[in-house]
Amino acid sequence: MFDPDFPAEELAAVEARLGRPQCLQWTGEVGPEELELVRASTRRGRHHDLTFFVFDPAGRVAAIRKPSFPPGIYRAPSGGARPGEPLLEGLRREAWEETGLDIEPTRYLLRIHARFTCGDQWEDWVSHVFAARTASSRLDPHDPGEIAEARFVTLEELAGPIRQRMLATGRGLFRYRVALTDAALAALAGEPTPWGAGSSRTAPPVPSPWGAASRGGMAPCNPDGASGEPGVRANLPSGTRGAPRTRPEAAGPEGRGERDGHP
C-alpha cells in the first residue's frame, strides 16, 4: 500500500470501511510546464490527490471547471489532505470547498500510481479515487479562485463529449484525467451507482482505460504500487504527511490560474 503521504495503517482503515480499491499504474508524457506544475506540489511534500465522483439523487455526478480549462471541459473534483488531516476528513473538506456539498463516501474505487514523464525527467503521484453520494442537488463552490464553475453532469457526458474535448487539448495531464475517469466508470460498470437506496441504474459503457485512446498506459499493479519496472518509486521521498508543509500556491497543472497545483 505504498503512498508517501499516508501511513499504511490509515489506508487499511479506509479500505476496511469502504472496500479495497483496484490498484492501477499510469505512465504518460506531459509538457515541461505541466511537469513543473506537478512539482509545485511535490516540492512541498504533497504527492497525492483525492478525487471524488459524487452522485446526487437524480443520478448525476458533480463536476468542476477551473479558470484555465478550455470551454466545455469539466472533471470530477479533487484536492489534497492537509498535513496531519485524516484522509476521509480531507475528502469531505475538499468536497465542501469545491462544490459546497456535504458528501457521504460510499466506495474506495481506485488507487492509481502515476508517473508523469517529460524527456528524461519524471514525477510520481498517487490518486485516491472515491465514489460518494449527496442528498443535495445545489452546487455552491466556496473557493471561487480555484473553481470557476461547478455543475452536475451525466455519466454519459463524462464518457462522451467531455472526454473527447479533454483529449482534443493534447495536454498530458488531461489525458491522465481521461484515463482516471475511464477507470472509475469501468469500476462502477455493472453495479448500481450510489444514487440512493433502491436505485438500479448502472454506469454506462465506457472506453477501456487500457486502450490507446487516452494515449497513456494504464495497467494493473500490485497493491504497493510496484509494476516490476526498476526504479518505479525512486523519485518518491520517504517523508510523511506529519511534517509541517505549506499548501501549494502554484497554478494547477492542467493550466494556469489555480491556487492548489495537482494533476
pLDDT tens by residue, 46-99: 999 999 999 999 999 999 999 999 999 999 999 999 999 999 999 999 999 999
Residue 195 has pLDDT above 60, yes or no: no
Which residues 6+ apart lie within 8 Å of 97 measured at CB? Answer: 79, 141, 142, 143
**Interval 220-229 mean pLDDT:** 59
Q: Does 246 reside within a domain?
A: no
Structural domain range at position 99: 22-220
Res 137: pLDDT = 93
Q: Does 96 reside within a domain?
A: yes
pTM for this prediction: 0.82
CATH of the domain at 46: 3.90.79.10
Q: Does 6 reside within a domain?
A: no
d(CA 182, CA 215): 12
Burial classification of residue 243, based on how many CB atoms lie within 10 Å of its CB (0-12 exposed, 13-18 middle, 19 or more buried): exposed
Q: How many domains does the chain have?
A: 1
Res 50: pLDDT = 98
Q: What are the phi and psi torsion angles at 128 (to 5°)?
A: -100, 120
Give the residue with greater pLDDT, 248 vs 93: 93
d(CA 235, CA 231): 8
Query: How do residues 13-50 score in pLDDT, each as one tens digit?
Result: 999 999 999 999 999 999 999 999 999 999 999 999 99
Res 221: pLDDT = 84
Res 183: pLDDT = 93
Query: How do residues 109-164 score in pLDDT, each as one tens digit?
Result: 999 999 999 999 999 999 999 999 999 999 999 988 899 999 999 999 999 999 99
Residues facing residue 187 across a β-bridge: none
Res 231: pLDDT = 32
**Interval 218-244 mean pLDDT:** 48
Res 3: pLDDT = 83
Q: Does 182 reside within a domain?
A: yes
Q: Does 44 reside within a domain?
A: yes
